Structure 1
Amino acid sequence: MRFILISASLSLVLSLIGTPAVIRFFRARELGQLIRDDGPQSHHTKRGTPTMGGTAIIIAALIAYAISAALAGRLDSAGGALAMATFAGMGAVGFLDDLIKLKQQRNLGLNKTAKFGGQALVAIVFAFGAQYVAETSTRLSFIGPLSLDFGPVLFPIFCFVILSATSNAVNLTDGLDGLASGVSAMVFGAYTIIAFWIFRHQLDYTNEAWIHADTLAIGAAAVMGATLGFLWWNAHPAKIFMGDTGSLALGGMLAALGVLTETELLLIILGGLFVAETVSVILQIAVFRLMGGRRLFRMAPFHHHFEQLGWHENQVIVRFWIIGGLCTAFGIGLFYAEYLSRAGSG
């Protein structure tokens, strides 16, 4: 437990003091956010705000994880190392996307093929490591009645789907100051509890996943602390944005934690707000195409819909934080109920 606390505290401090340095660095090089012309008018004042702030989250979390895992004598643990490598790898894809946007002064960075190609590469490496190094099950195993084994062939495809879906869901949510970072911190807090619980009680779903759960808890705590430290500067009015660098990294880490703790289906509940934001975009596109140009929302993702209805940005953020917190609490409750069910049947 103390190494989890060290990890969270250290990453929080590093992020708090490191983010201003990142702000100054990017501001000096005029690497500022581009704003969509068709976005809310109130957002045009944010043009030029430093972006790619996800680098501060990634660096702080990696340093905190390395120190805490080393102190715990668990730096060689495959599970934690794999999760953090996936976190950094997805962040690298986002960094390239952000850099191209800024260099070419356009909202389009990597094209779809290149972006999904980068995510696919990270997913393949992750899937290989999960199967053959961390010895994670290829089965969807959190919900008792559901038994679906992807096997070694389909498992990499599944990993790509969950990594891509989760990272892009966080990316879609990252449209208001502090919204994605605040909700992400809650979900990482939940995974810190879940991973520690798995290790503490040696929960064995289908394999020996609990062996790596302590370092997964350390990693989740490191990212949680780094995200909270970043949120201090990202809260409205934001001094810096995380960019795709941060959103893809955070989403990739959440997906990795879901797979390595064998709670992939639970991730849908814990990240319920991310799911809702993604569904709002899908529904908007579907209705627009099927109904001849009519729109379901005034703007998607649907946090912008509420802005268009007249809600102040802070109102949307705080209320969405509350929804995200309720989803996280409900997810933890489901996990505990499943644990009691397994303990009773065992």
Structure 2
Amino acid sequence: MRAVIVAAAVAFIVSLLSTPLAIRVFTALKAGQPIRSLGLASSAGKTGTPAMGGVAFIVATLVAYVAGHLALTTLPERQIAQEKPTMTALVLLGLLVFCGAVGFIDDFLKVRKRNSDGLSAKGKLLGQAIIGTGFGIAALYATSTNGETVISENISFIRDISWLNVGKIGAVMMFVFVITAMSNGVNLTDGLDGLATGASTLVLGAYALIGYWQYRHWCADETYAQATGYCYQVRDPLEVAMIAAAAAGACVGFLWWNTSPARIFMGDVGALGLGALIGGLAVVTHTTLLSILIGGLFVIITVTWVIQIVSYRTTGKRVFRMVPLHHHFELAGWSEVNIVVRFWILAGVCVAIGLGVFYSEFLSAVG
């Protein structure tokens, strides 16, 4: 637990202190966010606010991960089985960094062109697909000393579903789908000050708890497994807990400057990176389907966006005033702060339900 707390604390401090530097640097580079107002009150006065702030919390997460590993060296020998970086960490941090890089290209093009048209949708999807495929293959084929892989060939809910084996190709395709869907879901949510940052913090915090719980009830601990007959067949859960806690802490530090009125936006570099990390956490903890509950806010916003697009293209009619969903409520007269706080509450409820389902499965199994 010490390493997880250290990672979260270091990430928070680094993000809190480095974000003002990012604000000054991106302001000096005139890397302001081009904004289409579309008649929205939340857009007023935000043109020119520096974007690409996600760089700050991505760097903070990486620094905190190193700090967490240094903390592991202070633990008794029996507790440092994961002292060295693992393939799980490389996959999760790789998703954060490389999908963040796709977002950085998008943000850079927006700034360079001085409009909101950055990387095309096809370009983003292609980048995410290539990254997801590369890390998916690595996660499926790189085995630990006991033959455990980062992801499995089974679709999972709270653990692998034995009768839902999709094979190696299917597993990689599912990995790519989850990474792409969650990455774009967070990106769609990132439309109001602090909305995506706060919601991501809650989801990442949930995965920090899940990772640590799995570590405490891990099948690799043969003594525990033999004594209880119940454990989680996952790989490197302490790494998962450290990375999730580090990212959550980094988001909290960033939120200090990103909350309304935002002095910096996370940009696509932050949204795509965070979403990919959350998707990766879902797959490596074997809670793929459960992530629909835990990341419920992102799912709702994505689904309503799809409904709007399909409805308009097939019938010419809109179901909502505007999508993503938070803009619908903005046009309905809700203030930006009200929308953000209420959506945070919704995200928190989804996280609580998801964690409740996760824990209830454990109680039913051991009871």
Deviation at 1:146, TM superposition (A): 7.0
Which residue matches 1:189?
A: 205
- From 102, 107, 111, the equivalent of 1:102 is 111
Is 2:237 the partner of 1:213?
A: yes
- Equivalent residues in 2 for 1:254-265, closer than 5 Å: 254-265=278-289
* CA distance in 1: counterparts of 2:104 and 2:365, whole angstroms: 42
Structure 2 counterpart of 1:142: 157
Q: Retained in 1: the 8 A contact 2:158–2:286?
A: no
TM-score normalised to the size of structure 1? 0.94
The reply to whether residue 178 of structure 1 matches residue 194 of structure 2 is: yes
Q: CA deviation at 1:245?
A: 0.3
Total equivalences in the alignment: 343
TM-score w.r.t. the length of structure 2 is: 0.89
1:141/1:147 contact within 8 Å kept: no
Counterpart of 1:77, as a letter, is: T
Counterpart amino acid of residue 268 in structure 2: D
Partner SS, residue 265 of structure 1: coil
CA distance in 2 between partners of 1:249 and 1:39 (Å) = 29
Distance 2:112 2:237 in 1: 41
Q: Where does residue 341 of structure 1 map in the other structure?
A: 364
The residue number in structure 2 matching 1:28 is 28
Structure 1 partner of 2:77: none
Residue 120 (1) aligns with residue 129 (2): yes
Q: Deviations over 1:56-110 (max 9, x none)?
A: 0100000100221243152322212321111111111111111111111221211
Tell me which amino acid in the other structure corresponds to 1:100.
L
SS of corresponding position for 1:147: strand
Amino acid at match of 1:17: L
CA RMSD of aligned residues (A): 1.9
Q: Against the structure 1 CA distance between its residues 323 and 203, is the aligned structure 2 distance closer, same or farther, given a 3 Å change threshold? A: farther
> Residue 239 of structure 1 is aligned with which of 263, 281, 290?
263
Could you list the per-position Cα deviations for residues 163-218 of structure 1 after superposition, in whole angstroms to 9, with x for gaps in the alignment? 11000000000000000000000000000000000010115899985440001100
Rounded Cα–Cα distance in structure 2 between residues aligned with 1:121 and 1:260: 19
> SS at 2:298's partner residue?
helix
Q: Distance in 2 between matches of 1:46 and 1:146?
A: 50
In structure 1, what is the Cα distance between the partners aligned to 2:321 and 2:48? 26
> Match for residue 76 of structure 1?
85
Equivalent runs, 1:146-165 vs 2, <5 Å: 147-165=163-181
Task: Determine the C-alpha separation between the residues in 2 that align with 1:114 and 1:78.
Answer: 27
Does residue 296 of structure 1 match 2:296? no
Q: How big is each residue's C-alpha offset from its partner over 1:297-344, in whole Å with a ceiling of 9 and x where there is no partner?
A: 111111111111111100000011000000001100010011223334
1:224 is aligned, of 235, 248, 260, to 248
Structure 2: runs of 5+ lacking an equivalent: 74-82, 144-148
Instruction: Assess if the C-alpha contact under 8 Å between 1:209 and 1:261 holds in 2.
Output: no
Q: How far 1:120 moved relative to its partner?
A: 1.3
Q: Report if the CA contact (8 A) 2:15-2:250 is conserved.
A: yes
Answer yes or no: is 1:314 the counterpart of 2:337: yes
Aligned residue number for residue 102 of structure 2: 93
Q: Displaced runs of 4+ in structure 1, greater than 4 A?
A: 143-146, 203-209
Distance 2:296 2:215 in 1: 25
The amino acid of 1:84's aligned partner reads L
Does the C-alpha gap of structure 1 residues 301 and 112 become closer, same or farther in structure 2, counting only changes over 3 Å? closer
Unaligned runs of 5+ in 1: none
Deviation, structure 1 residue 150: 1.9
Aligned residues of 1:75 and 1:81 also touching (Cα < 8 A): no
Distance in structure 1 (CA, Å) of the matches to 2:154 and 2:176: 15
CA change 1:186–1:203 in 2 (3 A) is farther
Encode CA deviations 1:24-67: one digit per residue, 9 max, x unaligned. 00000110011124251441310000000000010000010022
Contact 1:209/1:260 (<8 A) preserved: no
Matched with 1:65 is 65
